[in-house]
Chain A
Amino acid sequence: MIESYFPELTQLPGVEAVILFDNQKKVRDQWTIPQFNTTIIPELAESYIQIFGVGEKLKEDAREVVVPFERGVLFARSLDKFVIVVVARLSVEISLLRLILEVRVPDFISERKVAKIGKRIPRSKFEQINEFSLDEKEAEMIQQLNQTGHGGKESD
């Protein structure tokens, strides 16, 4: 899927991994350079479902999250029922990753096969957050979010 719908990502020097998973944290496809440690992929899926899930609950426009780390950058984009994560060296321009997705995502989303898969996936990311994977503070925050009900910030 990744190589056919997002070919530029796999051709770009400095891109180390591209992971596509759905709102249920199921990895739909992954592309990595041989040296990439693939054991972190499920953890990435879990973390981004939490990040985008909380953003969704708070009604924040958290469509894209970019996190720099020691050796590069993690670029993640929420695609409604899917999430795409790109792990790249710092030399890769974020605006280029963004441009690739701007061009490629509409074709990906509207493709018949993808639309068919999408039908079986819930739209909500928040509901998919696993309580057991949260630390104390996170669990408390999720509980508070659930108590406010409306998902927004409490009024003064």
Chain B
Amino acid sequence: MAEKKAIDIQGDMVFRLSRKRSPQEVKLKSLEWAVVTQLNGEKTVEQIADILALSEEETQEIFSHLMNEGLLELVRAPEEAAFVDSELLSELEFQLKLHVGPVASVILDDALAELHKNRHNLERKFLPVLVEILSQEISNPNKRREFQKFALTKIMELFTN
């Protein structure tokens, strides 16, 4: 029997049914059939899991099985690997500079190092944590909030577009 590959299914992945193999060629459980009927090349894994009220574990198991059976084609890869634009980090650095002075550059690099990242490989999902670390360096509550407001606007643009 062929060894099953462990696949990390992410919520923002999008799949469609493979043209090379039909689901009727494989023995599927009822929940797996339910997922198959939802696949349209547009809905994300998370949206399908929501519609069918699947737990994280079930979602992972079902999609991995369908993938291993060769029934799925990946339409959109996970976006988590997308890196934060270094221009955005420069904007954050500038804002931080307004509140803490020239030491902002050092603080930013230290915060990135704490996350084991640098200015070129910070994944999008780590941006809120970075802002949280940077905010702690601003002792004045009003200035801290001003910085957080700016950062939140930028993050929301990134996360909702």
Contacts and interface: CB of A to CB of B under 8 A. Distances in A.
B46 interface: yes
A102 B135 contact: yes
B97 interface: no
A4 interface: no
B38 interface: no
Contact of A99 (B11, B125, B152): B152
Interface stretch (A7-15, A18-26, A39-47): A7-15
A22 B149 CA distance: 26
A91 B46 contact: yes
A98 B155 CA distance: 13
B12 to A, nearest CB: 7
Contacts of A33: 50
A95 B140 CA distance: 20
Interface residues of A, number: 21
- The majority secondary structure among interface residues of chain B is helix
B55 interface: yes
Residue of B12, B46, B56 with highest tally of chain A CB at under 10 A? B56
Given A35-B51, A99-B151, A102-B145, A8 B132 contact: no
Residue of A11, A13, A95 with highest tally of chain B CB at under 10 A? A95
B9 to A, nearest CB: 12
B140 to A, nearest CB: 14
Contacts of B160: 11-13
Contacts of A71: 49, 54-56
Contacts of A12: 156, 159-160
B56 A103 contact: no
B102 interface: no
B152 to A, nearest CB: 5
B128 A96 contact: yes
B46 A96 contact: no
A11 B11 CA distance: 17
A93 B125 contact: yes
Interface residues of B, number: 26
Interface of B: 11-12, 46, 49-51, 53-57, 125, 128-129, 131-132, 135, 145, 148-149, 151-152, 155-156, 159-160
A69 B125 CA distance: 20
B145 A95 contact: no
A32 B100 CA distance: 39
Contacts of B56: 70-71, 90
Contacts of A35: 50-51, 53
11 contacts: A8-B156, A12-B159, A70-B55, A70-B57, A71-B56, A93-B125, A95-B128, A99-B131, A99-B148, A99-B152, A102-B135
Nearest to A96: B128
Contacts of B53: 35
A76 B51 CA distance: 25
A11 B160 CA distance: 7
Contacts of B11: 14, 89-91
